[in-house]
């Protein structure tokens, strides 16, 4: 593992969050070495910041695997564990809603919530035939959603057999 990756993994472990490399579910309340929710402060996002899904478009009929491309305006992308003003990294919610508690790190949930802590801006997904929803949520270096929230509109796609 490269030194930067080790540092990011160590920072994530100390914060009690899951990284893109280790997508085991974790919450601020249950992870070893977790930071109490009261100690977490949401980072500010620029007023004009906007996350969006470039592709596929809402209502698209696609075949699996599906390439999902992420867009962001008014901010930059930085890997998890790296604190820089006006930056964050993407989280993709598949067939699920955004979390109700926006003051704690976003947990990784197999098949439902994906973290892109390396700063990735696209992913190839294998989805079963049928209707699916996709939504992006930008979070800070500790996987905590920004304030105000920077999230895409929910996109509905149909995966054809």
Distance of CA 138 to the CA centre of its chain: 6
pLDDT digits 0-9 by tens, 43-90: 999 999 999 999 999 999 999 999 999 999 999 999 999 999 999 999
Contact (CB, 8 A) for 149 and 102: yes
Contacts of 13 (CB under 8 A, 6+ apart): 33
Contact (CB, 8 A) for 19 and 115: yes
Residue 157 structure tokens = 């796609």
The three-state DSSP-derived secondary structure of 64-85 is: CCEEEEEEEECCEECCCCCCCC
pLDDT digits 0-9 by tens, 121-158: 999 999 999 999 999 999 999 999 999 999 999 999 99
* Global pTM value: 0.77
Can you list the positions of beta strands (E) in the chain? 50-55, 61-63, 66-73, 76-77, 87-94, 113-115, 122-125, 130-139, 155-160
pLDDT digits 0-9 by tens, 20-38: 333 333 333 334 345 444 4
Each domain of the chain, given as residue ranges in start order, spans: 46-160
Q: Which CATH class is domain 46-160?
A: mainly beta
């Amino acid at each position: 593992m490269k030194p930067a990756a080790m540092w990011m993994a160590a920072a994530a472990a100390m914060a009690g969050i899951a990284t893109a490399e280790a997508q085991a579910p974790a919450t601020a309340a249950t992870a070893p070495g977790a930071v109490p929710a009261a100690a977490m402060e949401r980072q500010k996002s620029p007023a004009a910041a906007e996350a969006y899904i470039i592709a596929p478009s809402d209502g698209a009929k696609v075949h699996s695997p599906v390439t999902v491309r992420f867009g962001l305006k008014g901010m930059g992308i930085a890997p998890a564990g790296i604190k820089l003003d006006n930056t964050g990294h993407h989280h993709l919610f598949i067939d699920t809603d955004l979390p109700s508690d926006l003051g704690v790190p976003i947990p990784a949930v197999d098949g439902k919530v994906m973290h892109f802590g390396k700063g990735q801006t696209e992913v190839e997904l294998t989805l079963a035939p049928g209707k699916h929803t996709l939504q992006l949520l930008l979070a800070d270096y500790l996987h905590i959603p920004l304030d105000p929230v920077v999230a895409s509109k929910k996109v509905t796609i149909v995966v054809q057999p």
